[in-house]
Amino acid sequence: MSIQKTVTVDLGERSYDIVIGPGVLAQAGERIKAISPGARCAIVTDANVNAAHGEALRASLDAVGIEHSTLEVEPGEQTKCMAVFEHVVGGLLDARLERRDLVLALGGGVVGDLAGFAASVTRRGMDFVQIPTSLLAQVDSSVGGKTGINAPQGKNLIGAFHQPRLVLADTDVLKTLSPREFRAGYAEVAKYGLIDRPDFFEWLERNRQKVFAFGPELVEAVAVSCQSKADVVARDELEGGLRALLNLGHTFGHALESATRYDGSRLVHGEGVAIGMALAHRFSNRLNLCSMDDVNRVEAHLRVAGLPVTIGEIPGDLPGPEKLLDYIAQDKKVSRGKLTFILTKGVGQSYIARDVPSSEVLQFLKEVT
Amino acid sequence: MSIQKTVTVDLGERSYDIVIGPGVLAQAGERIKAISPGARCAIVTDANVNAAHGEALRASLDAVGIEHSTLEVEPGEQTKCMAVFEHVVGGLLDARLERRDLVLALGGGVVGDLAGFAASVTRRGMDFVQIPTSLLAQVDSSVGGKTGINAPQGKNLIGAFHQPRLVLADTDVLKTLSPREFRAGYAEVAKYGLIDRPDFFEWLERNRQKVFAFGPELVEAVAVSCQSKADVVARDELEGGLRALLNLGHTFGHALESATRYDGSRLVHGEGVAIGMALAHRFSNRLNLCSMDDVNRVEAHLRVAGLPVTIGEIPGDLPGPEKLLDYIAQDKKVSRGKLTFILTKGVGQSYIARDVPSSEVLQFLKEVT
């Protein structure tokens, strides 16, 4: 158990711990009892995760006498919608849970975003615990309090900032992921190195294989990722500025996800982010900000991790540069009409550029599509 | 214009002004431009209020060049539901409003609660301005950041704490209210005196007629009410404790509203609160906390304002004491099964009693039904 690591997200009264490592799921009951003695729990999970890990969580709650019920939703992105949201909120109310009772979000990013948002509005705000079961959720979506659902107008357009009371990231659980899912999550791990931790990126270059082999290096990689995100969130909880750095690779990535209509058989989020990060470095190079050596180094590392780095690697037809630019402009990271991009001066030297001319972006897209 | 008063809700970075008095609506454009230069606006309002005051607001926005659109909803409590909420959020997204653009809630409590909640979750939190057009909304629901909708399981069970950027309370607008609506709002005005401002209650006893005649005393009464609420909210934004004082009269009142199935032809919210406040004093007297003189004084003042003070004044059949107790226990102001009541030691001396035995409440209900 000594391999477990704890990262604290420092948000004053709303501070919370992220506990990372093997065996964390089995400790859920005692850890939850410690933060909320007497609270009852509603587990929100999807059918697949429930089958794989639901019993382990319930056994852990039973062992310390915590009352619980389970709300199961369908797996998949389409679950992050208003209808399922209403169903989950209704389930929490039917269970007569009170504000200080707990919603336990057991699953990947979809379940975490949905259950966290449901918790945030039920009785104007219930407590909740994130128990992320995908690498993507462990290093990204479960940390920082962003919750929400999709709207017909776009992804994640309806939601709330609602911090969990605790995050339990059991790295053993990641062994049940498909290799493609694991790789996609790894793109977000690499992202933290590329944002502002060049030493971590170097460490990943040396230790990638051990991370993928579920060694203690995986716990280290998740912990550094969570610490990186926690540092940014602590300085900018409500995404006023700095937090935009976490969108490195996401502006291009989201446009590509839109262009493939979020068809996971063609492109999953982490793959979009991988291509987006490669493009962000290449675009920065075109703007004479970043060396070609850095572009090549980033692409090489993502490639060797099994991730795509060019638009051409996405199977099937894609819209042209003009349409891709339109998707970028529709992204919510537009402030009063100006395009905001995360650009970089090299590995680990990203920064927020608030008024990138769309003509430059279009020219670049014409070169890379 | 010198008759206008401004009350500041002191919440650090989220502080905001409540501007109260005649002519405030016509100043909306310039006041909004001052707090959010460059922002676009979506007016959320109901058909009745839109017909009465929509043009005045739009003219004021046009005069200073603020872009705006209007989303009209049906009048009435049934509008505070998930379907209309989804419609409003969709309308805000369709209008491509950004986080720093503004939702203007023009209407009574229903519109304010609905539009404020929609603003709170659209793009994870848009700015909004309350422009309350009922006395109830001006002195209560528009101040303090509670927003939300009703669930099949109960009222206001889904929502958020989301503070407005500004509250514009035009007292001239109240002239379009029905006398019954005005009286019902007055119950909440009297409440602030009864909670902890005995001097204000005395002032109301002397000045009630001038308040009802739309004299400058109305501006004073609204301003003191808003200041009272602002003081409580500043000390307990998220309803951890002290804010419960604002529920004086509401525990009995909500139970009576439930018992009449929220049929406004039988009982409107402010009438339920009036009866609830009278009962809270009477119950406190039964518990030897408050003198019979105080009970009589409270009842006399509410009566002379045209408000009901006994359960018997509600037209139609009502359920018996046991069922009423059940409604009280279902209220969300139950903490881990104990009944929380606002009791009083006399006019202006209310306090939070966290473990009132339900047997005492039942006994009391048997006496007064």
Confidence label for B240 from pLDDT (cuts 50, 70 and 90): confident
pLDDT for position B330: 73
pLDDT for position A239: 76
Region B156-162 average pLDDT: 95
Cβ contacts (< 8 Å) between A159 and chain B: which residues?
A: 121, 124
Q: pLDDT tens digit string along B256-286?
A: 999 998 888 999 999 999 999 999 999 999 9
Q: pLDDT tens digit string along A151-202?
A: 998 889 999 999 999 999 999 999 999 999 999 999 999 999 999 999 999 9
pLDDT for position A354: 86
pLDDT for position A340: 86
Q: Which of A301, A304, A303, A288 is nearest to A346 (CA)?
A: A288
Beta bridge partners of A145: none
CB proximity list for B228: less than 8 A, separation 6 or greater: B192, B195, B196, B197, B200
Interface contact B124-A153, CB threshold 8 A:
no
Region B90-102 average pLDDT: 94
Q: pLDDT tens digit string along A314-336?
A: 999 999 999 999 888 876 455 55
pLDDT for position B2: 63
pLDDT for position B337: 55
User: Is-catalytic flag, A323?
Assistant: no
A116 and A130 Cβ atoms separated by less than 8 Å: yes
Confidence label for A237 from pLDDT (cuts 50, 70 and 90): confident
Cβ contacts (< 8 Å) between B161 and chain A: which residues?
A: 124-125
Instruction: State whether residue A134 is helix, strand or coil.
Output: coil
Distance from CA of A38 to the nearest CA of B (A): 9
Question: Which residue matches tokens 């020219």?
Answer: A363
DSSP state of A270: H
Q: Is the dihedral of CA B22, B28, B30, B31 positive or negative?
A: positive
pLDDT for position B333: 52
pLDDT of B230 above 80: yes
Chain A residue at shortest CA distance from B150? A123
Spans of all domains in chain A: 5-176, 179-368
Interface contact A153-B94, CB threshold 8 A:
yes
pLDDT for position A242: 87
> Which architecture characterizes domain A179-368 according to CATH?
Up-down Bundle (1.20)
Confidence label for A337 from pLDDT (cuts 50, 70 and 90): low
pLDDT for position B334: 54
A63 and A44 Cβ atoms separated by less than 8 Å: no
Written as six digits, the tokens of B227 are: 């200041």
pLDDT for position A331: 61
pLDDT of A1 above 50: no
Instruction: State whether residue B177 is helix, strand or coil.
Output: coil
pLDDT of B6 above 50: yes
Chain B residue at shortest CA distance from A81? B86
B72 and B50 Cβ atoms separated by less than 8 Å: yes
Written as six digits, the tokens of A161 are: 């900032």
* Choice among B80, B183, B191, B269 that is catalytic: B269
CB proximity list for B234: less than 8 A, separation 6 or greater: B9, B10, B11
User: Is-catalytic flag, A180?
Assistant: no
* Side-chain half-sphere CA neighbours of A154 within 13 A: 20
Confidence label for A245 from pLDDT (cuts 50, 70 and 90): very high
CA distances from A356 to A18, A287, A323 (A): 36, 10, 18
Interface contact B124-A98, CB threshold 8 A:
no
- In this structure, the strands spanning B154-161 and B146-151 are antiparallel
Q: Which amino acid is at B208?
A: R
Give buried/exposed letters for A290-301 (b at 16+ CB in 10 A, else e): beeebbebbbeb
Cβ contacts (< 8 Å) between A123 and chain B: which residues?
A: 157, 332
Interface contact A89-B158, CB threshold 8 A:
yes
Written as six digits, the tokens of B172 are: 């001239």
* Choice among B208, B250, B282, B301 that is catalytic: B250
Region B342-363 average pLDDT: 93
Tell me the C-alpha distance between A258 and A340, whole Å: 18
Chain B residue at shortest CA distance from A151? B90
Percent of chain B with pLDDT over 90: 86
Tell me the C-alpha distance between B314 and B178, whole Å: 19
Confidence label for B331 from pLDDT (cuts 50, 70 and 90): low
Q: pLDDT tens digit string along A209-235?
A: 999 999 999 999 999 999 999 999 998
Written as six digits, the tokens of A110 are: 């979809």
What DSSP element (H or E) covers B350? strand B350-356
Distance from CA of A307 to the nearest CA of B (A): 30
Beta bridge partners of A168: A19
Interface contact B90-A153, CB threshold 8 A:
yes
Instruction: State whether residue B26 is helix, strand or coil.
Output: helix
Q: Which of B229, B221, B246, B232 is nearest to B5 (CA)?
A: B221
Distance from CA of B107 to the nearest CA of A (A): 22
pLDDT of B87 above 60: yes
Residues from A in contact with B at Cβ < 8 Å: 38, 82, 86, 89-90, 93-94, 98, 100, 117, 120-125, 146, 148, 151-154, 156-161, 238-239, 332, 334-336
Q: CA A3 from chain center: how many Å? A: 23
The backbone torsions φ and ψ at residue B178, rounded to the nearest 5 degrees and listed phi first, read -70, 155
Region A79-104 average pLDDT: 96
**SS in 3 state form for chain A?**
CCCCEEEEECCHHHCEEEEEECCCHHHHHHHHHHHCCCCCEEEEEEHHHHHHHHHHHHHHHHHCCCCEEEEEECCCHHHCCHHHHHHHHHHHHHCCCCCCCEEEEEECHHHHHHHHHHHHHECCCCEEEEEECCHHHHHHHCCCCEEEEEECCEEEEEEEECCCCEEEEEHHHHHHCCHHHHHHHHHHHHHHHHHHCHHHHHHHHHHHHHHHCCCHHHHHHHHHHHHHHHHHHHHCCCCCCHHHHHHCCHHHHHHHHHHCCCCCCCCCHHHHHHHHHHHHHHHHHHCCCCCHHHHHHHHHHHHHCCCCCCHHHCCCCCCCHHHHHHHHHHCCCEECCEEEEEEECCCCCEEEEEEECHHHHHHHHHHHC
Confidence label for B1 from pLDDT (cuts 50, 70 and 90): very low
User: Is-catalytic flag, A250?
Assistant: yes
Interface contact B153-A122, CB threshold 8 A:
no
Q: Could you give the angle at which helices A179-196 and A269-286 cross, rounded to 10 degrees?
A: 30
Written as six digits, the tokens of B40 are: 């676009």
* Reduced DSSP (H G I as helix, E B as strand, rest coil) percent helix, strand, coil of chain B, to 5: 55, 20, 25
pLDDT for position B158: 97
Chain B residue at shortest CA distance from A337? B98
DSSP state of A18: E
Chain A residue at shortest CA distance from B147? A124
Q: Which of A141, A115, A140, A139 is nearest to A129 (CA)?
A: A115
**H helices present in B95-178, as ranges:** 109-121, 135-136
Distance from CA of A72 to the nearest CA of B (A): 20
- E-only strand ranges, chain A: 5-9, 16-21, 41-46, 68-73, 102-107, 127-132, 146-151, 154-161, 166-170, 334-335, 338-344, 350-356
What DSSP element (H or E) covers B225? helix B216-235
Residues from B in contact with A at Cβ < 8 Å: 38, 82, 86, 89-90, 93-94, 98, 100, 117, 120-125, 146, 148, 151-154, 156-161, 238-239, 332, 334-336
Q: pLDDT tens digit string along B289-299?
A: 999 999 999 99
Percent of chain A with pLDDT over 90: 86
ipTM: 0.91
A194 and A348 Cβ atoms separated by less than 8 Å: yes
The backbone torsions φ and ψ at residue B26, rounded to the nearest 5 degrees and listed phi first, read -65, -20
CA B231-B235-B237 angle, to 5 degrees, is: 100
Q: pLDDT tens digit string along A125-136?
A: 999 999 999 999
Region B51-60 average pLDDT: 98
User: Is-catalytic flag, A254?
Assistant: yes
Interface contact B98-A336, CB threshold 8 A:
yes
* Side-chain half-sphere CA neighbours of A50 within 13 A: 15
Q: Smallest Cβ distance to A157: which of B93, B238, B335?
A: B93
User: Is-catalytic flag, B208?
Assistant: no
pLDDT of B343 above 90: yes
Q: Smallest Cβ distance to B158: which of A38, A121, A152?
A: A121
pLDDT of A2 above 70: no
> Which architecture characterizes domain B5-176 according to CATH?
3-Layer(aba) Sandwich (3.40)
Region B330-352 average pLDDT: 80
User: Is-catalytic flag, A146?
Assistant: yes
Region A6-20 average pLDDT: 95
Q: Which of A145, A75, A138, A85 is nearest to A110 (CA)?
A: A75
